[in-house]
């Protein structure tokens, strides 16, 4: 059996600290706990930024956060849970994404993809560590790995494409979304293990998105998608 934190607060495990703070009265004891949680996440983020995953030891983290070694285990349960908490706490996406507006519903999917990838490769040391945690299979800390708001955003994009008639109505949008995500995951995995350059990463992801969307597209929209497949294919052909 995989165990969560040992305290009495399992129900809020994994929520970002601000979300906890937002939920009202919060006895003084709980407030102290939330504060410690915040310190730990903060220290973890700093350590990852400075040294990557290699420099993130539980002893060092505890020292940096000003708590004892056992405390992070009481509050989060495991090292991985802490990294996941850091991942969930990244909410800059929301702001960036809110500014993107495209007339073409398919265009906005590709724009969001580009934005995401720019985000990740723009801070490699940081996001390599975070994505490594995503691919970690060692324990059962999985629920809500990716920001729920972020998921909702993507789902909105796909549903928009369906509504606009770009995607055939017979295709299940959630399955389509899932396959798109699997392309992203796959590409990010290659990036994490260093098997793909940032340049190819973008082209590869776009190619996969275009191919899957082409499979799901309504007839009228197949032309531009096919063009996009060929275009990304060409950009991938140059460097062997």
The yes or no reply on residue 189 touching a second copy (CB under 8 A) is yes
Residue 170: Cβ-neighbour burial (10 angstroms; 0-12, 13-18, 19+): exposed
Which CB, 8 or 54, lies closer to a second copy?
Answer: 54
- Interacting residues with a second copy between 193 and 232 (CB under 8 A): 193-195, 204, 207-208, 210-216, 225, 229-230
- How near is the Cβ of 172 to a second copy at its closest, in Å? 5
- Decide: helix, strand or coil at residue 217: strand
Among 37, 192, 202, 221, binds a second copy (CB under 8 A): 192
Number of residues that bind DNA (CB under 7 A): 31
- 70: Cβ–Cβ under 8 A, 6 or more apart, which residues? none
- Interacting residues with a second copy between 36 and 55 (CB under 8 A): none
Both tokens assigned to 99: 């500014």
Nearest residue to 127 (alpha-carbon basis) of 188, 43, 199: 188
The yes or no reply on residue 179 touching a second copy (CB under 8 A) is yes
- CA-CA distance, 141 to 179, in Å (whole number)? 22
CA dist 203 → 14, 81, 149, 219, 229 (Å): 33, 32, 26, 24, 10
Secondary structure, 3-state, 105-171: HHHHHHHHHHHHHHHHHCCHHHHHHHHHHHCCCCCCCCCCCCCHHHHHHHHHHHHHHHHCCCECCCC
Name 217's bridge partners: 167
Residue 38 binds which entry of a second copy, DNA, none, with Cβ cut-offs from 5 to 8 Å by kind? none
- Interacting residues with DNA between 57 and 96 (CB under 7 A): 57-60, 66-71, 73-75, 77-80
Residue 27 binds which entry of DNA, a second copy, none, with Cβ cut-offs from 5 to 8 Å by kind? DNA
| Span near DNA by CB under 7 A; candidates 21-29, 105-113, 221-229, 230-238 | 21-29
The yes or no reply on residue 45 touching DNA (CB under 7 A) is no
The yes or no reply on residue 140 touching DNA (CB under 7 A) is no
Residue 152 binds which entry of a second copy, DNA, none, with Cβ cut-offs from 5 to 8 Å by kind? none
Both tokens assigned to 45: 């983020």
Which residues of the chain form contacts with DNA (CB under 7 A)? 3, 6-9, 27-29, 32-33, 36, 56-60, 66-71, 73-75, 77-80, 138-139
Which residues of the chain form contacts with a second copy (CB under 8 A)? 132, 135-138, 140, 142, 170-172, 175-176, 178-179, 181-183, 185-187, 189, 192-195, 204, 207-208, 210-216, 225, 229-230, 233, 236-237
């Amino acid at each position: 059996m995989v165990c969560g934190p040992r305290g009495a607060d399992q129900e809020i495990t994994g929520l970002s600290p601000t979300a906890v703070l937002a939920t009202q009265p919060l006895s003084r004891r709980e407030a102290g706990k939330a504060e410690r949680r915040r310190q730990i996440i903060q220290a973890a983020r700093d350590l990852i930024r400075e040294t990557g995953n290699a420099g993130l030891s539980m002893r060092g983290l505890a020292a940096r956060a000003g708590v004892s070694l056992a405390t992070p285990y009481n509050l989060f349960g495991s090292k991985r849970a802490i990294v996941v908490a850091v991942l969930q706490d990244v909410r800059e996406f929301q702001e960036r994404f809110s500014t993107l507006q495209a007339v073409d519903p398919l265009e906005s999917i590709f724009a969001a993809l580009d934005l995401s990838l720019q985000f990740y490769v723009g801070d490699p040391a940081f996001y390599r560590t975070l994505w490594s945690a995503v691919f970690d299979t060692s324990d059962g800390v999985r629920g809500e790995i990716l920001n729920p708001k972020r998921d909702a955003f993507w789902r909105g994009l796909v549903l928009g494409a369906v509504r606009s008639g770009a995607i055939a109505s017979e295709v299940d949008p959630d399955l389509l979304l899932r396959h798109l995500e699997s392309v992203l995951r796959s590409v990010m995995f290659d990036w994490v293990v260093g098997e793909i350059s940032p340049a190819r990463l973008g082209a590869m992801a776009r190619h996969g998105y275009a191919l899957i969307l082409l499979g799901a597209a309504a007839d009228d929209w197949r032309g531009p998608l096919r063009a996009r497949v060929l275009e990304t294919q060409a950009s991938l052909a140059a460097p062997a």
